[in-house]
Structure 1
Amino acid sequence: MADVLVVLKVYPDSDEINLDNLYGDISNSLPKEYKIVKKETEPIAFGLKALILYIQMPEQMEGGTDNLEEIVNNIQGVSHAEVVGITRLGF
């Protein structure tokens, strides 16, 4: 079974949210099959930044990326999260 790499854009509730703490909360909330392989920030507007996470997960995971979005959207400090890209890693 192959893995996929999901690019997830996470918008915080406000510019006062510490993105490092938010990253930690997200990392601790993900199932063990998910692995954050890279993180970046992206300026949005007026000092607000989005957190861009590259998450490796099994291709056949039940719920797929919808489950990932739901988990992250339920974390305190997250305004919303959306999958902006996905690619297959193995054959």
Structure 2
Amino acid sequence: MTDVLVVLKVFPEGDDVNLDNLADNISKKLPEGYKLVRKDTEPIAYGLKALVLYIQMPEQTEGGTDTLENLASEVEGVSHAEVVGITRLGF
């Protein structure tokens, strides 16, 4: 089975939210077969930064990336999350 790499942008509730802790909390909630590969930050406005997570997951997943967006959005400190990119890994 092929995996995909999902780029998930996570918007914090405010500029006082620790993005490293947020990434750890999201990573701990990932289902089996999912793996946090990389994390970055991206400036939004007025000192507020978004967390950009690169998550490897199975391609044939029930619910697709909606499940991932919902899971991340339910973590404390997250305003909302959205998938901004997806690419296939392997051949």
Structure 2 CA distance, aligned partners of 1:12 and 1:25?
A: 13
Q: Give how far 1:32 is off.
A: 2.0
What is the correspondence of 1:5-44 to structure 2 with a 5 Å cutoff? 5-44=5-44
TM-score scaled to structure 1, two decimals?
A: 0.97
Question: How many residues are treated as equivalent by the alignment?
Answer: 91
Structure 2 CA distance, aligned partners of 1:70 and 1:43?
A: 23
Which consecutive aligned stretches of 4+ in structure 1 deviate over 2 angstroms post-superposition?
none
TM-score scaled to structure 2, two decimals?
A: 0.97
Matched AA of 1:19? L
Cα RMSD over matched residues?
0.6
Structure 1 CA distance, aligned partners of 2:55 and 2:76?
A: 20
What is the correspondence of 1:1-91 to structure 2 with a 5 Å cutoff? 1-91=1-91
Structure 1 portions without partners, runs of 5+: none
- Identity over aligned pairs, percent: 70
